[in-house]
Structure formats: C-alpha cells, structure tokens
Structure 1
C-alpha cells in the first residue's frame, strides 16, 4: 500500500528503501501533495502482478473475475511472462492447451474474447505484430477501459 508520511518540523525524516513510501513536511502545497501521491500510486501500480488460482479466478489489485478453463490456461502463460511477449508458438506448445486446435484464427478469437473479459480488471492484452501477445496493466499502458461494450 502506498504511504505518504507527514513529518513534523524538526523531526528526523524516516529512512526507508520502500519505493511506495515518501514523506513531506508541512506546510505542503496542494500541487506538491498531489504530485507525490500520483508518483507513489504509479510506482505501486507498476509493481502489481496479476494472479490466477486453480478455479480460474483472476485477481489484479482490488479486482477479480472468473474466466473459462481455456481462458485460464491462456492467462497462466501471459501472467508467467507479465510485461513480456508470449510468442504464438508458445500457446500451441502449452500442454494444457493441446486439446484445442489452436491455429492462428482460433487463438486470435480466444484472445479477443479474453480482452473483453479483462476490461473491468484493468488488464490489457497487446498484440505485438509478427510475434505474439503481451499482458500489461491497462492503466499504465494508457488503455482506457470501455464502460459500455457494444
């Protein structure tokens, strides 16, 4: 949890190596306070990693949702390499996904459906052209979640 400590004048500031902790001395301007809070929140958000349990419940920060068995297997691969590219061939080589016929079109269809499911969780799957897919934090990637999907 990000923390912004207010240190009394004359008091020794805390020594911390925690990247989501900062301190200020009063009086502090509102602009400075908001800037420090924003930086702490960005650091906190960038360190979060999604998780998926054996029942297919995906958790990321305060959000969670349940996905299908196929989507859970796709997510396991993407979570293991969170922030890195998962090549298309790796999906086909996954033992848990071998029961499916994962050609290019079917993989694209599964990813499209999974993208829609991930909107409320603030995760996005980015296509890395000619290589594969990358799971990332939608907020830090600049993806704005749709509120009313058509």
Structure 2
C-alpha cells in the first residue's frame, strides 16, 4: 500500500494539525504529515540565530524567511497533497504563498477556512481542488481520496 505525504501549511495558533493527524490515525490512513516550523519565535529568529544578528529588521526577517523557505519549498515539492489552513486571528500571507507554490507545482491543494474568508480567499479557493471548513471534512476527503471510502455509503 502506498504511503501518502501530506504537507500541512498555514496558521499556527490552533491545533488543527493535531486534529487531522488524530483523524487520519483513527481511520488508519497510510499518511505521513510534514509542516513548516510552527514555533513562531524560532521561525522568526532562525536566520539571525544561525547566521548572525542584523541591525535592520528587514534583513533580520529576510534571513529567517530564506531559511524557512528551504524547508517549505522542499516539503511542498515532496508532498502528494498540500493542505493550507487560514485562521481567523491573523492574515497568513505565508499560507497564501504556500498555496500559490503548490498550485504552480501542480500539487493537489485542499484549502481550509471559515465562511468569513470566502471572499478574501476566492482566488486561492479557485486554485484548490477542495475547500473545507473543518478538520473533520479534511479527514473525510483524505479517506475518500486514499481509500475510495465515502462515509455512510455502501456498495
């Protein structure tokens, strides 16, 4: 049986990744998850912590973004499916960028957000193969795509 690689991009302020992983485990889905660094301070400061301090915040942020891009680009390229979550608390420009990279690479893209973000994310949603509001819906999508199982339906 094939093991699917799923990249989980997007907001880091809720436990949505854990919910999807738990749902996939409960269904015994053959998946491996990867994600960006979700420790916000580490992600912001990795460049200066490793390569040295910067006087300008622009270069501080640039160093961190470039190191983080090594991880995100590599993992998105290796993914079979990319899932991008947009939360309510912050604008996630990096998540939108990851969705664009996934779309440009031809990766199947699932977008996750609430109904209040339908309008601002209409272009991202248009590039996605599915738009889900909940982690449970994402687990259902994964089960269907991987196993051809649709909950509540029998042959």
| TM-score for both structures, normalised by structure 2 | 0.26
Q: Who wins on radius of gyration, i.e. which is larger? A: 1
Which structure has more relative contact order (CA 8 Å, sep 6+)? It is 2
More helix by share: 2
The structure that is strand-richer by fraction is 1
